[in-house]
Amino acid sequence: MPVPDSSRISPDALRRLVEPNRVHRSIYVDPAIFALEMERIFERTWIYVAHESQLPKPGDYLTTQIGRQPMVIVRHDDGSIRALYNRCGHRGARLVGGAGNVRHFRCCYHGWTFRTDGSVLSVPLRRGYDGTAFDVADRAFWMPSAPRVDSYRGFVFASLAAEGPDLRSFLDGIVTSLDDIADRAPSGRIEIADPPFRVLQRNNWKLFLENLNDTMHALSVHESAIESARTQLAEMSDPETPADSWVGETLSTIGKNGTPQSIMDRIGVAGFPHGHSFMGGFFNPDSYERPYVAALEQARGTERMREILSVNRHNSIIYPSMTIQAAYHQLRVIRPLAVDRTLVEAYTFRLIGAAPESYRRTLAYAMLMNSPSSNMMPDDLEAFERVQHGLDVRAGEWVSFHRNDGRDTVADGAFTGTGTSELPMRNQARAWLELMTAE
Ligand code: FES
Ligand SMILES: [Fe+2]
C-alpha cells in the first residue's frame, strides 16, 4: 500500500490550515494529513485502551489499536496492566487477536512464546542459537512495550511517547467527568457490561468529535426522531410508572434534542487544555429508580448522594479517543481507520453495588442512542457523510467555527461558553494544531 507523503507538510503549512475560528477543509480529506495525525496525535498523546474491569485476572488480555499500531493490553502476573505491541520478536508475526486469558503468548508461526510483560519465555530448539547474538534477555527479541501506561478510576490509557505530560495533567479539568461516571456507583466502581456495539462511520474522525458537543445540530438533523419520540411518549399511558420509567426517560431525552435553541444556549459548554470538553445535560435526576438512589444514599450519605446526582453533563469528550455520557453509563471509543473511515465502539457500564434496574435503563439508552439500531444515529451518520463529501469541493476552502467566537470566558486555562457556542470545535482545533506542530 503506498504510504501518503506527509513529509511535505511543514509546521508552517499546518499553521496556515487552522485559524482561531475556522479550519481548512484539507484536514478532513487529505490522506497525508491523516498519516501525520496518526504519527503526531494518536501515536504520541494518551489514548484510552481499556477499562480495568475487562482485565480482572493475570493473563486477561484484549487487542486494540493505538493510531496505526496493533496493541495487546494485558494484565501481568504482578497485577500491573501492560500495553504491548502485537508483534512477535522473531520475524514480526501478529501474535494474538480478540480477547481472552493466556498463561503466555505463543506465536503461530515458529512457536516462540512470550510472557505477559513481553519478555521471551522460550524458543524451540534453543541450541540453534548457541554462538549467535540471540539472547532472551535482549529486548530486541521481546514484544515491544508502550513506554507509558496509566489509569484513572479504572480507565486505562497508554501513550506511545516516552515524554509528555503525565496522565493526570493531560486529563486536566475533564477528570471530573470520569469521577462523575464512577461516583454514580454506590461502590465508587463500575465495570464494562458487555462487548461493544461497533459502528463503522464513513467520515473523518474529527467530524464525529466535533458533533458531540454541537447542540445546534440536534433540532435540525434529528427532526423526525424527535417527533416520533414525542409521539410515543404521548401514547404511553403513564411514563412515570416504575416499569416504564427508563423507556420514558430515554424517549424524553430524544425528545429533548428538540429543545429550542434559545434554551439549549443555557445548558453551557466547557473546554479544557488538550482538546477536552463537555456540554451540560438534559438528564432528569428524578427519573432514577428508588432502589438505586437508596443504595447510593446508604453507601455515601444523603448529602453526597445529592451532590453526585446533581452533576448534569451530556457528552464529555476526552480528546482524541473517547467520549462518555456519565448519567447514562455509556462510553464510546474512537478509532480512526482512514481519512474517511472511523470505527466507533459503544460500551455500557454496570454500577457495582447498584440495583439491577439501573442497568436496564443503561441498556435501553444504548439501544436507542448508541447501537447500530438506534433511530437517532443514522441522522448523524448521514450528516457526517454529507460533510465528508462536501469537503471534497475545492471551491469552498474553509470550515466555520465562528459561532459565539470572542465570547468564551477563560479562567484557569478552562473555557466556558453558552450551550450553542462552537467553543468545543475551536478548542479541538487548537489542540490539534498544538499536537501536530509539537517537536
Ligand atoms: S514469527 Fe513468531 S515465532 Fe517466528
Ligand atoms: Fe446528533
CA distances in angstroms from 34 to 27, 198, 345, listed in the order given: 7, 22, 20
Indicate the helix (H) or strand (E) that contains 284: none
Question: Quick check: 352 and 53 in contact, CB under 8 A?
Answer: no
Query: Residue ranges of the alpha helices (H) in 74-194?
Result: 167-171, 175-183
Specify the pLDDT at position 251. 81
Domain positions in the chain: 47-152, 168-437
Specify the pLDDT at position 256. 81
Average pLDDT of the segment spanning 18-29: 98
Q: Which of 275-289, 309-323, 354-368 has the highest mean pLDDT?
A: 309-323
Name the DSSP class of 145.
B
Q: In terms of residues, how long is the chain?
A: 439
Q: Whose alpha carbon is nearest atom 3 of ligand 1?
A: 110
Average pLDDT of the segment spanning 267-281: 96
* Helix, strand, coil abundance in the chain, percent, nearest 5: 40, 25, 40
Indicate the helix (H) or strand (E) that contains 300: helix 290-300
Q: Which of 9-13, 240-244, 320-324 is predicted least confidently?
A: 240-244
Q: CA nearest 173: which of 311, 271, 320?
A: 271
Distance CA 267, CA 260 (A): 12
Specify the pLDDT at position 260. 85
Q: What is the pTM of this model?
A: 0.95
- Name the phi and psi angles at 57, rounded to 5: -115, 155
Whose atoms come closest to the Cα of 383: which ligand? 2
CA distances in angstroms from 236 to 196, 233, 326, 369, 373, listed in the order given: 30, 5, 27, 19, 21
Name the DSSP class of 367.
I
Per-residue model confidence as pLDDT tens digits over 188-206 = 999 999 899 999 999 999 9
Give how far the C-alpha of residue 53 lies from the chain's centroid of Cα atoms, to the nearest Å: 16
Ligand 1 atom nearest the C-alpha of 89 is 2
Helix/strand/coil (H/E/C) assignment for every residue in 172-220:
HHHHHHHHHHHHCCCCCCEEECCCCEEEEECCCHHHHHHHHCCHHHHHH
Specify the pLDDT at position 412. 83
* pLDDT over threshold 70, residue 244: no
Q: Which three cell numbers stand for residue 261?
A: 435553541
* pLDDT over threshold 60, residue 221: yes
Residue in the structure block whose three cell numbers are 462552537: 422
Q: How far is the CA of 272 from the centre of ligand 2 (A)?
A: 22
Distance CA 87, CA 91 (A): 9
Distance CA 249, CA 292 (A): 15
CA distances in angstroms from 95 to 90, 102, 123, listed in the order given: 11, 12, 14
* pLDDT over threshold 50, residue 372: yes
Per-residue model confidence as pLDDT tens digits over 290-302 = 899 999 999 999 9
- Name the phi and psi angles at 12, rounded to 5: -65, -40
Residue in the structure block whose three cell numbers are 479541538: 428
Distance CA 174, CA 274 (A): 10
CA angle 246, 250, 252 (to 5 degrees): 115
* pLDDT over threshold 80, residue 232: yes
For the chain, give the mean pLDDT.
93
CA angle 340, 207, 209 (to 5 degrees): 125
What is the band of 2 on the pLDDT scale with cuts at 50, 70, 90? low
Q: How far is the CA of 87 from the centre of ligand 1 (A)?
A: 9
Indicate the helix (H) or strand (E) that contains 156: strand 155-159
Q: CA nearest 199: which of 61, 335, 301?
A: 335
| Topology (CATH) of 168-437 | Naphthalene 1,2-dioxygenase Alpha Subunit; Chain A, domain 1 (3.90.380)
Name the DSSP class of 225.
H
Distance CA 239, CA 326 (A): 23
Could you write out the DSSP letters of every residue in 310-323? H--EEEEEETTTEE
What is the band of 207 on the pLDDT scale with cuts at 50, 70, 90? very high
Q: How far is the CA of 228 from the centre of ligand 2 (A)?
A: 15
Tell me the angle at which helices 205-212 and 423-437 cross, rounded to the nearest 10 degrees: 140
Whose atoms come closest to the Cα of 141: which ligand? 1
Specify the pLDDT at position 262. 86
Whose atoms come closest to the Cα of 216: which ligand? 2
Please tell me which residue, 245 or 27, carries the higher pLDDT value. 27
Give how far the C-alpha of residue 406 lies from the chain's centroid of Cα atoms, to the nearest Å: 28
What is the band of 375 on the pLDDT scale with cuts at 50, 70, 90? confident
User: What dotted CATH number matches 47-152?
Assistant: 2.102.10.10
Average pLDDT of the segment spanning 277-300: 89
Q: Whose alpha carbon is nearest atom 1 of ligand 1?
A: 91
Could you write out the DSSP letters of every residue in 2-52? PPP--TT--HHHHHTTEETTEEETHHHH-HHHHHHHIIIIITTS-EEEEEG
Ligand 1 atom nearest the C-alpha of 123 is 3
Question: Quick check: 139 and 122 in contact, CB under 8 A?
Answer: no
Distance CA 218, CA 314 (A): 13
What residues flank ligand 1, with Cβ below 6 Å? 88, 90-91, 93, 107, 109-112
The SS3 assignment for 248 reads helix
Residue in the structure block whose three cell numbers are 534477555: 137
* pLDDT over threshold 60, residue 241: no
Q: How far is the CA of 113 from the centre of ligand 1 (A)?
A: 9
Please tell me which residue, 258 or 133, carries the higher pLDDT value. 133
